[in-house]
Chains A and B, each alone.
Chain A
Amino acid sequence: MWKFFHKLASPPHFYQFAGKIVPWFAVIAIACIGYGGYAGLFVAPVDYQQGDAFRIIYVHVPASYLSMMAYSIMAISAGIGLIWRIKLSHAVAAAAAPLGAWFTFLALATGSIWGKPMWGTWWEWGDPRLTSELLLLFLYIGYMALRASIDDIAKADKASAVLALVGVVNVPIIHFSVEWWSSLHQGPTLVREGGPAMAPDMLYPLLAMILGFTFLFGALLLGRVRTEVLYREYRARWVRELLLGDGGTT
């Protein structure tokens, strides 16, 4: 088991392994999203309160789940990279940030579209989830801005790792403070917490969508990490052999 991980942490092995695994992830993702999307739109029964508008849940919830997931992946791998000096794990952090930002944007946009028919407004500051999501987007933007402004990759990796770790300590506090703040004027929420259990017909498509989004995210992430690895390892012999074939001048 350890041997497997150790081997995986070496860039050329990872590059090959990820290249093989991405299509499988994509197949699973397409299957899950295909079923979940169809069932969510056409099979699941209409919600007794929200009508058909509730069907947005099937894209909103997976997106917001992954936006937070991506942040934890980013922070954890940044921490691992900083402490154990594993370059690959910095590459994972670098790849996770823009994807996380996209999913956060998606969660915000679908939440806002859902909010319009429910609250009569595109944006409701009283909803703590949307507000936290907005702050999460700012955190991603800060992280990417810091990365972009440091030319040296190794330095950018380490500096942004510190920022990601500081951010991850803050995320629960931000979430808590936004919740406290909105509880002062009882804002409406889109997703009922601890409400009546969802009917299986509604629940299964949601689970399928979450699973599908997760695998899609995995495939996208692995693909991006491969790109990052190429940039980081351009001095290594295996990259040279891979890209230029062997028999070069040196």
Chain B
Amino acid sequence: MTDTRPLVPSLWSGFVGIVRRDILLAWKRPGDVLNPLFFFAMVSALFPLALGPSSEQLGSIGPGVIWVAALLAALLSLNSLFVSDFEDGSLDQLLLSPQPLTVLALGKAIGHWMVSGLPLVVISPLVAISFHMPDQSIKVMAVTLFFGTLSLSLLGSIGAALTVGLHRGTALLSLLILPLAMPVLIFGARTVSLSTSDDAVSAGVYFLAAYCMLALTLAPFATAAALRISNE
């Protein structure tokens, strides 16, 4: 019977399978996607309301505000990344599947990014315009947010995997992830604000891209290890 060992589907089909499933789930429950987006838009709107409509001031705080709002929105949606899988037993099935867990963890993070980070990148120009940011900065903002939200999804998936089943909510996850996410915030926000004064931005963009690559290669391993530990 050893020679009739079942064939395992390819890694790619496992990866695509989980990304497709999570996007389909988001499609069936649009609230999960829309709530962080609204949160992002509202937090960004709070600052002009609190600080007054002076357009110079808005232009100078805009990059920082948008980046902090994006960071918080990502954290908000990350909290539930593995919770429903944990509660309905899907996580056991993932851990017991013959697919390497690292690939599935990568799939979860990418799926999360496609339904939370990518829409945020798409609507960020609207928010940037409302902050009177110059045109070149809006482009830079979208590019930095592209790499930044992807890094946050990957980093955050580690935290979500560590806290799954702990019922301590978003506070613990934020405590774990925010210090780790600092480089992304620093480079993202500073690069955008440099671009408002026509300074060179390539260094920051390269850094974010490099950080994103590092996260793509290392984070899934940490997430997989954390999932096995949390689900014991």
Contacts and interface: CB of A to CB of B under 8 A. Distances in A.
| B and A form one assembly | yes
Interface string B168-190: 10001001111110110011001
A180 B203 CA distance: 10
Contacts of A43: none
A227 to B, nearest CB: 24
A142 B190 contact: no
Q: On chain A, which size bracket covers the interface?
A: 20 to 34
Interface in A140-170: 141-142, 145-146, 149-150, 152, 155, 158-159, 162-163, 165-167, 169-170
B160 interface: no
A139 B176 CA distance: 7
A86 B226 CA distance: 18
Contacts of A146: 162-163, 172, 175-176
B180 A162 contact: no
B229 A135 contact: no
B186 A178 contact: yes
Contact of B175 (A142, A152, A167): A142
A177 B182 contact: yes
Interface string A82-94: 1000000000000
A166 B214 CA distance: 12
B47 interface: no
User: Could you tell me the dominant secondary structure of chain A's interface residues?
Assistant: helix
A150 B166 contact: yes
A141 B178 CA distance: 11
Contact of B176 (A145, A177, A180, A184): A145
Q: On chain B, which size bracket covers the interface?
A: 20 to 34
User: Could you tell me the dominant secondary structure of chain B's interface residues?
Assistant: helix
Contact of A158 (B175, B194, B229): B229
Contact of A177 (B162, B183, B222, B225): B183
A142 B180 CA distance: 10
Given A155-B229, A159-B229, A162-B222, A135 B158 contact: no
A119 B183 CA distance: 26
Given A145-B172, A146-B162, A155-B229, A135 B222 contact: no
A163 B176 contact: yes
B230 interface: yes
B211 interface: yes
Nearest to A136: B179
Contacts of A152: 232
19 contacts: A145-B172, A145-B175, A146-B172, A146-B175, A149-B166, A149-B168, A149-B172, A162-B162, A162-B229, A163-B158, A165-B222, A166-B222, A169-B218, A173-B183, A173-B211, A174-B182, A180-B187, A180-B190, A184-B194
Interface of A: 82, 135, 138-139, 141-142, 145-146, 149-150, 152, 155, 158-159, 162-163, 165-167, 169-170, 173-174, 176-178, 180-181, 184
